[in-house]
Amino acid sequence: MTFAFAYPAVLLLLVIPALLLMWVWRRTGGEVALPMDYGHQASGRGWKALINLAESLPALLLATVIVVLAGPQRMGVPRSHRALTNIEFCVDVSGSMTASFEGGTRYDASMKAINEFLSYREGDAFGLTFFSDIAMKWVPLTNDVSAFSCAPPFMNPGKRLPRGLGGGTQIAKGLRACRRTLIEREKGDRMIILISDGFSSDLSGNAGLELAKQMVNDGIVIYDVHVADGGVPDEIVNLVANTGGEVFNPGDKNALAGVFKKIDEMQQAEMERGNAEMLDNFFPFCITALSILGTSLLTLFGLRYTPW
């Protein structure tokens, strides 16, 4: 076991109890001569040693306290921890997201499923970006997911949206905004979960393939959840496939939460073995100090030096 001290300079104070011990064992004088001292009684060396031991206990207690104040530490056992995954939700808030879905709207069902997904991925960092004609970052990447539960009422496309958010669908703008957020993180995997219900003209031609190349170069995987009836546009399918992700089309079958759970199972969080850390190691020294203190109190009942 490796020992270290957080404040090694404090150990210099150990010279004080060392001097006290030296004084206890090397002191002379102070005796009172009585008539019996000139008799043939024993020298009393055993008692002297025992008394000196008893009077050494306060100095030993002080030494133990100094060691505790120096902050004793020991090397801990390396622990494994969950590798961070940075997940950006890219949510469509165009006018078509107000269509009926699972007893509510497509938007309501999407936000409900997102909040359930957060419980599967505890320990990861999440961000939230809304898009229509423009993209708007709503929640930065964070481990505190409380802001997600507050977001639905403010960005509901069935109500008045913030200025600038129109009713169109520009998926590429939303994905680029998410990409800019993810590449700021140097550590951890990167994932975008796109939630949309329509076709995006800004992915036409080679635009989708060029965007996919950027995502691959940045190590970003895209999963698409298509919350609408009918097939998924080919541009989105190709984009997602080129990043190594997958497209889901749950339909109106109360299956959206199941889609998110499947994404969690596909993108399993890895475990990383961390380095050993230095931990406080007060326990053995505190036990030693209490033992010395208890023994010293017992010796005060009669085992002490007197000059008569």
Q: Is the per-residue pLDDT at 72 higher than 70? A: yes
Say how far apart CA 164 and CA 162 lie, in whole Å. Answer: 6
Q: Are residues 261 and 203 in the same domain?
A: yes
List the CATH number of the domain containing 227.
3.40.50.410
Which residues, 6+ apart, have CB-to-CB distance to 40 below 8 Å? none
pLDDT of 252 above 50: no
Same domain? For 156 and 17 the reply is no
Specify whether 135 is located in the same domain as 17.
no
Mean pLDDT for the chain overall: 80
Reduce the secondary structure of 249-289 to three states and give it as a string: CCCCCCCHHHHHHHHHHHCCCCEEECCCCEEECCHHHHHHH
Same domain, residue pair 37 and 139: no
> Which of 74-78, 138-142, 173-177 is modeled with the greatest confidence?
173-177
In a domain, 304, yes or no: no
User: Please, are residues 203 and 168 in contact by the beta-carbon 8 Å criterion?
Assistant: no
Confidence band for 81, pLDDT divided at 50, 70 and 90? very low
Residue 307 lies inside a defined structural domain of this protein: no
pLDDT tens digits along 166-214: 667 889 999 999 999 999 887 778 889 999 887 788 888 888 889 999 9
**In terms of residue numbers, what domain contains 262?**
81-268
The answer to whether 293 and 61 are in contact (CB under 8 A) is yes
Task: Please report the pLDDT score of residue 256 as a whole number.
Answer: 64
Is 308 inside a domain boundary? no
Closest Cα to residue 233, out of 247, 243, 221? 247
Tens-place pLDDT, residues 30-43: 555 555 555 666 66
Number of domains in the chain: 2
